[in-house]
Amino acid sequence: MRGIVVRSRSVFGSIGGALQTLVGGDITLFTSLCERTRKDAFDRMCAHAKELGANAVIGIRYDAVAISAGVSEVICYGTAVVMEEEVPSK
């Protein structure tokens, strides 16, 4: 299963992030962009798994690639499975 998101920073986000780098520390604008992007990729992967009849995804991984200046692809992938409840033996 996979979920792919391609996202760019807005002009305002880029300027705000650049200003935050002057102060140092956590660059919250970029952190929140990364968190949103990873969540979107995860949600798309889960939807793809559900479309195929799976009810769980195991071995989840993330990867990211810069496509061009300010544009990145984030992919979330794993193995879709159907989990069944184990019936205790008597």
Would residue 86 count as lying in a domain?
no
Residue 87 counted as domain residue:
no
pLDDT tens digits for 25-82? 666 777 788 898 999 999 999 999 999 999 999 999 999 998 887 788 999 999 999 9
* Neighbour-count burial of 69, counting CB atoms closer than 10 A to its CB (0-12 exposed, 13-18 middle, 19+ buried): exposed
Q: Provide the whole-model pTM.
A: 0.75
Residues 59, 78 contacting (CB under 8 angstroms): yes
pLDDT at 12: 53
52: phi then psi, degrees, rounded to nearest 5: -90, 5
Domain containing 50 equals 2-81
DSSP structure class, residue 55? S
Number of domains in the chain: 1
Q: Are 75 and 63 in contact (CB under 8 A)?
A: yes
CATH code assigned at 51: 3.30.110
Q: Is residue 23 part of a domain?
A: yes
